[in-house]
Amino acid sequence: MYLVNRQFRMGEAAVLEALNDQFVIVLGLPEDRLVKFQKICVLGLGYIGLPTASTFATHGLEVVGVDVNPSVIETLRNGGLHIHEPGLRTLVQAALGSGNLRISESPEPADAYIIAVPTPILDGHTADLSYVEAAAKSIVPCLSRGNLVVLESTSPPTTTECFLTNILQSSGLTAGRDYCLAYTPERVLPGQILSELIENARVIGGVDRRSAEAGRDLYRTFVRGEIFLTGATTAEMVKLMENTYRDINIAIANEFSHLAEKFGIDVWQAIQIANHHPRVDILRPGPGVGGHCIGVDPWFLVEAAPELTDLIRAAREVNDRQPLHIVEMVEEILSESGQAESLQGVKVAALGLSYKPDVDDLRESPALSVSSELSQRGAFVKAYEPYLKNKQQIRFDCVDTLQEALADVDLILLLVPHAPFLELKPEQVAKLSHARLIVDTVNAWSSPDWESYGFSMARLGVGKKRISDRFDDIE
Ligand code: SAJ
């Protein structure tokens, strides 16, 4: 591993220590040893590719941004944006305005190529590398000696060293000998992409040392965080391990919520107290794990080594089952309150559809799964997602305002703790809706005030026969 520490002045220190072939610590290299990049192609202009291309462009590189989707090209060329991310519009406008960023349907000869395309999972939980394959094939005619190719897409272990190397071999050039090949995962949090792209630590893995160093020299254009240099497969594993670790930790929080329901306690209270232990940090239970990463990446490890991944698979299954648990909670409260014995014809206001709070991203959203399942079981779902611009993608009724969502429903289902929902007071909701049944899946409306306004609440992870009810007045 090379650690490039930007606190040190460039040229001040060189290689400190060679630990073994892959692990060396470097503190700033002399300027004359940096690979120079003037023109780069970024393939894939999505949540990662577009901010990356624009950031390189605003840092003075000539960037060709490539996307195979004609509507993305048209939108960007017309000054629009096909994705929502705070600050991205300004950044893209600055990049295009500077003349450094051009949008194109296909790659062209450049010093470096960055592949930032999706790697979804197919039915059966296997990695779909077809976008990576297509992007790599499109580079082949342009690739020349001395170039750098970087894969950013989250990928199964050895994708760079085996899969990508093989495809690029058809150029007649060999990775590590004729051109540099590296892997560097994006690790930014949606909603904070622009700052995290620059500030976060980055791991850059090369098929050889020169490739890792070339990757470092490119990303040092704008990265202020530490840069760790490794082999390509280590860098792939770093990304997969980070998200798998998070998935497993969310799964145990979800499992604790089921146990709390069984034993009649409040999981939120128990977690809060447990987290006072200096070495415990339990995450939050919820309606499931969504997004394009955490619910997907662990499967890459399961596919690559099924015999070694029992725990990873079990955690995935717990989290994937969580939306059904919420549907069962809705059925239970309806039945217990005597309002309905089935979901048939029941009117439900579903608050929030995105995969997590305060973003508009619906990919793999558990809130969407819950709402779809309720509809399929005969409920009339009226969904309200305050951040959503394009409602055409939703198959069930999706309304424009909270007022519409809450009017004329039997039950209110809180699925995402968006800031505007957290601010709601029981008296407001009581005025806007005649529904008095609430299912809170995110522990947003826990105050006893709700019950004093006549609401019956079912909260995820809160058992009914709470012995601790007797001690509610104890701090
Ligand atoms: N969630 C819970 N309970 C929690 C935390 C999250 O149920 O305590 C749920 C969220 O509601 C959401 C899902 O998990 O549905 C994932 O959300 P997230 O905020 O944990 O993660 P992402 O997918 O938005 O971003 C993750 C990040 N990885 C880690 O935190 C290890 C981010 O740094 C990565 O860049 C990103 O995956 C990615 O692209 O891989």
User: Percent of the chain at pLDDT above 70?
Assistant: 90
Residue 33 has pLDDT above 80, yes or no: no
Ligand 1 pocket member 289 (CB < 6 A):
yes
* Region at 343 (left for phi over 0; alpha for psi -120 to 50; beta for the rest): alpha
Ligand 1 pocket member 417 (CB < 6 A):
no
- Can you give the pLDDT at residue 269? 97
Average pLDDT over residues 264-281: 98
Query: Long-range contacts of range 87-96, CB-CB < 8 Å, 24 or more positions apart?
Result: 87/194, 88/50, 88/51, 88/54, 88/193, 88/194, 91/51, 91/54, 91/55, 91/58, 91/194, 92/50, 92/54, 94/54, 94/58, 95/53, 95/54, 95/55, 95/57, 95/58, 95/63, 96/57
| pLDDT tens digits, 322-333 | 999 999 999 999
Q: Is residue 212 within 8 Å of 2, Cβ to Cβ?
A: yes
Atom of ligand 1 nearest to the CA of 283: 8
Tokens of 459: 């909260």
- Can you give the pLDDT at residue 214? 97
- Can you give the pLDDT at residue 474? 58
Q: Is residue 173 within 8 Å of 143, Cβ to Cβ?
A: yes
Residue 119 has pLDDT above 60, yes or no: yes
User: Percent of the chain at pLDDT above 90?
Assistant: 84
Pairing of strands 380-384, 347-351: parallel
Residue 390 has pLDDT above 90, yes or no: no
Ligand 1 pocket member 354 (CB < 6 A):
no
Pairing of strands 227-231, 2-4: antiparallel
| pLDDT tens digits, 209-218 | 999 999 999 9
Neighbours of 366 (CB within 10 A): 25
Ligand 1 atom 38: residue of nearest CA:
293
Neighbours of 137 (CB within 10 A): 13
Bridge partners, residue 341, by sequence: none
Mapping DSSP onto H, E and C, the string for 399-422 reads ECCHHHHHCCCCEEEECCCCHHHH
Ligand 1 pocket member 308 (CB < 6 A):
no
Tokens of 125: 């939980």
| pLDDT tens digits, 50-65 | 999 999 999 999 999 9
Q: Using alpha carbons, select from 202, 127, 203, 206 the residue that is nearest to residue 165.
A: 206
- Can you give the pLDDT at residue 27? 36
Distance CA 1, CA 205 (A): 9
Domains and CATH numbers, the chain: 3-225 (3.40.50.720), 267-469 (3.40.50.720)
- Can you give the pLDDT at residue 395? 75
Element (H, E) at 314: helix 310-336
Q: Is residue 102 within 8 Å of 128, Cβ to Cβ?
A: no
Q: Using alpha carbons, select from 366, 342, 359 the residue that is nearest to residue 414.
A: 366
Query: Residue 12's pLDDT band (boundaries 50, 70, 90)?
Result: very low
DSSP 199-213: HS-EEEEESSHHHHH
Average pLDDT over residues 303-318: 98
- Can you give the pLDDT at residue 472? 58
Atom of ligand 1 nearest to the CA of 297: 40
Average pLDDT over residues 225-235: 98
Residue 10 has pLDDT above 90, yes or no: no
What is the per-residue burial (b if ≥16 Cβ within 10 Å, else e) of 372-389?
A: bbbbeeebbbbbbbbbbe
Tell me the angle at which helices 88-97 and 49-58 cross, rounded to the nearest 10 degrees: 50
Residue 47 CA, ligand 1 centroid: distance in Å? 15
- Can you give the pLDDT at residue 294? 96
Residue 294 CA, ligand 1 centroid: distance in Å? 6
Residue 68 CA, ligand 1 centroid: distance in Å? 28
- Report the residue among 194, 245, 250, 442 best suited for mutation to probe ligand 1: largest number of ligand atoms under 8 A from its CB: 250
Residue 326 has, within 13 A of its CA and on its CB side, a CA count of 32
Q: What is the DSSP letter of 175?
A: B
Residue 350 has pLDDT above 50, yes or no: yes
Residue 288 CA, ligand 1 centroid: distance in Å? 11
Ligand 1 pocket member 214 (CB < 6 A):
no
Ligand 1 atom 37: residue of nearest CA:
293
Atom of ligand 1 nearest to the CA of 294: 23
Ligand 1 atom 7: residue of nearest CA:
286
Atom of ligand 1 nearest to the CA of 364: 15
Strand order in the sheet with 148-151: 2-4, 227-231, 202-206, 180-183, 148-151, 112-115, 39-43, 62-66, 101-104
Which is catalytic among the residues 41, 180, 293, 398?
Answer: 293
Atom of ligand 1 nearest to the CA of 188: 35
- Report the residue among 155, 254, 294 best suited for mutation to probe ligand 1: largest number of ligand atoms under 8 A from its CB: 294
Ligand 1 atom 35: residue of nearest CA:
187
Q: Is residue 145 within 8 Å of 178, Cβ to Cβ?
A: yes
Residue 356 CA, ligand 1 centroid: distance in Å? 8
Residue 258 has pLDDT above 50, yes or no: yes
Ligand 1 pocket member 240 (CB < 6 A):
no
Ligand 1 atom 11: residue of nearest CA:
356
Query: Residue 448's pLDDT band (boundaries 50, 70, 90)?
Result: confident
Average pLDDT over residues 373-401: 89
Ligand 1 pocket member 290 (CB < 6 A):
yes
| pLDDT tens digits, 66-100 | 999 999 999 999 999 998 889 999 999 999 999 99
Does 293 participate in catalysis according to the annotation?
Answer: yes
Ligand 1 pocket member 243 (CB < 6 A):
yes
Atom of ligand 1 nearest to the CA of 254: 7
- Can you give the pLDDT at residue 191? 86
Atom of ligand 1 nearest to the CA of 239: 40
Residue where the block lists tokens 């079981």: 377
- pLDDT averaged over every residue in the chain: 91
At residue 123, what is the residue type? D
Q: Which residue has the higher pLDDT, 13 or 355?
A: 355
Distance CA 93, CA 282 (A): 41
Distance CA 57, CA 78 (A): 18
Average pLDDT over residues 98-125: 96
Longest dimension (CA), the chain: 77
- Report the residue among 155, 241, 293 best suited for mutation to probe ligand 1: largest number of ligand atoms under 8 A from its CB: 293
Residue 46, helix vs strand vs coil: coil
Distance CA 114, CA 57 (A): 13
Which is catalytic among the residues 239, 356, 382, 398?
Answer: 239
Does 180 participate in catalysis according to the annotation?
Answer: no
Query: Residue 232's pLDDT band (boundaries 50, 70, 90)?
Result: very high
Residue 403 CA, ligand 1 centroid: distance in Å? 30
